[in-house]
Structure 1
């Protein structure tokens, strides 16, 4: 089953490091597979594009440049706020905080610096500006159901043995 550009539900096991380092920044090894639908923007574009053409049980190391991962660092994504807005929080440089954005979405920020009056936070993703090295294994590849394509959610009614019949977009 080869992964195609669209309509494929893919399950992978992965480990990711910042390129050139040995520190693992994220992994699902030993846990549940990461499942997503190719072509729906559910994972970073560089990894998704590199998976196209791979098959079930295939493994590989994939280098994803920053521009195709979490983007370049945007210096305008920093904001300095009055320290009173962080009352009750034991601040530390580099810590991650979660808040609510303008439209009710969860927003992740990193504390860059602080003093007695102000706190500078960074809205850039912590991996922005970094090239990433993924070690992946394709655990599954199958055609997405109509429900999965409509909702973008993996796990509709037909998982049926993990293989597809005729007309499948995953070969």
Structure 2
């Protein structure tokens, strides 16, 4: 039975970026989601349509259908005083709230005596994704 709208799908996946495996659930439990509700990235969801239980497929998802293209305007330089009491390290992910109370995540990309550069892009923004997926069950 092929995947259709509003069906519960369980799926195993391995994710590679630039040939490097960065995530997998192959040796654990499958992820479950309702197909068509965008609980997974749209580019992957669109490409698993019509797959069947037990089917395995390699799927390329371009950046613009995954986490978006990298946006230089989402990098900000802020005064170090804004981070008082935080032991900043490059690569550290900071979490906070936007003015509309939505959660915001930023990655520290540079620290000087005066400033901190933070990147609000998703860590995989600008990356094409290669998935190897196996459809476990369709309900």
Q: TM-score range by the shorter chain?
A: over 0.9
Which residue of structure 2 lines up, in the alignment, with residue 3 of structure 1?
A: 3
SS of the equivalent of 1:84 reads helix
In 2, the alpha carbon distance for the partners of 1:102 and 1:42 equals 25
In 1, the alpha carbon distance for the partners of 2:16 and 2:84 equals 34
* Matching residue within 35, 48, 59 for 2:56: 59
In 2, the alpha carbon distance for the partners of 1:121 and 1:95 equals 10
In 2, the alpha carbon distance for the partners of 1:139 and 1:88 equals 47
Which residue of structure 2 lines up, in the alignment, with residue 99 of structure 1?
A: 96
Alpha-carbon spacing, 1:101–1:28, altered in 2? closer, same or farther (3 Å):
farther
Moved over 4 A (4+): none
Which residue of structure 1 lines up, in the alignment, with residue 15 of structure 2?
A: 16
Give the TM-score, by structure 2 length.
0.92
Structure 2 unmatched ranges of 5 or more: none
* Deviations 1:54-110, CA, capped at 9 Å, x for gaps: 011111111111011101011111112121222232222222222222222322211
In 2, the alpha carbon distance for the partners of 1:32 and 1:101 equals 34
* Matching residue within 118, 122, 135 for 2:119: 122
SS of the equivalent of 1:120 reads strand
In 1, the alpha carbon distance for the partners of 2:85 and 2:25 equals 33
Q: Which has the larger displacement, 37-46 or 123-132?
A: 37-46
Which residue of structure 1 lines up, in the alignment, with residue 65 of structure 2?
A: 68
Give the TM-score, by structure 1 length.
0.76
CA RMSD of aligned residues (A): 1.3
* Matching residue within 23, 31, 36 for 2:33: 36
